[in-house]
């Protein structure tokens, strides 16, 4: 890599919703790279609460005061996207040994298949238990998730949880 080449990293995920744990990784990751792209993708194996465009908009608002970080949407393989934007690395957050085991295998595959490195950042202790799935579950039951997500996310989660609850009630009434 030449001295003038920008060190660009991609932090990929569904971010449904973005959590304070994600934000912690982003804020620490921007110190390691010249530019950090938070890449919002879709995973057909995951149940989605917020639509794709909503997630991108929320993240853009959340990142507005973080220099050298931006959000983009992508489809397809993460390594293909990373190569297309000239990234030198993929950034991943690690919460626990289960994350490490899975991410280690993916990182080795990405290096062999696409020649792209993965940089791991351990999440801060206060976010080690946080997951988007847990947050969605708590929100769907009317719980308070304000300590787990950036403020920009709260209204979106509450609105969607209310819509889902109304839809469930409607289904039960029609049975």
CATH of the domain at 23: 3.40.50.620
* Domain assignment present for 146: no
Residue 49 belongs to domain spanning: 8-130
* Domain assignment present for 168: no
* Domain assignment present for 150: no
Reported as a single tens digit per residue, the pLDDT across 54-92 is: 999 999 999 999 999 999 999 999 999 999 999 999 999
Q: Helix, strand, coil: what percent of the chain each, to 5?
A: 45, 15, 35
Catalytic residues: 22, 46, 95, 132
* Domain assignment present for 111: yes
Give the pLDDT band of residue 43 (cuts 50, 70, 90).
confident
Q: How many domains does the chain have?
A: 1
Exposed/middle/buried for residue 75 (C-beta within 10 Å: 0-12, 13-18, 19+)? exposed
* Domain assignment present for 46: yes
Q: Is the pLDDT of residue 1 over 60?
A: no
* Domain assignment present for 173: no
Of 5-19, 72-86, 95-109, 155-169, minimum mean pLDDT range: 155-169
* Domain assignment present for 78: yes
Residue 13 host element (H or E): strand 8-13
Give the pLDDT band of residue 94 (cuts 50, 70, 90).
very high
* Domain assignment present for 157: no
């Amino acid at each position: 890599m030449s001295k003038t080449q920008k060190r660009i990293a991609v932090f990929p995920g569904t971010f449904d919703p973005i959590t304070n744990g994600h934000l912690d990784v982003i804020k620490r990751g921007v110190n390691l790279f010249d530019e950090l792209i938070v890449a919002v993708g879709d995973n057909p194996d995951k149940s989605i609460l917020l639509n794709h465009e909503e997630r991108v908009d929320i993240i853009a608002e959340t990142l507005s005061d973080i220099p050298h970080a931006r959000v983009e949407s992508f489809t397809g393989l993460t390594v293909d996207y990373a190569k297309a934007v000239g990234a030198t690395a993929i950034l991943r957050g690690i919460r626990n040994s289960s994350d490490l085991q899975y991410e280690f295998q993916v990182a080795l595959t990405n290096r062999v298949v696409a020649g792209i490195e993965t940089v791991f950042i351990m999440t801060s202790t206060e976010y080690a238990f946080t997951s988007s799935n847990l947050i969605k579950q708590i929100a769907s039951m009317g719980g308070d998730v304000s300590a787990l997500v950036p403020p920009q996310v709260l209204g979106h989660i509450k609105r969607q949880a209310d819509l889902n609850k109304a839809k469930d009630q409607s289904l039960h009434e029609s049975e």
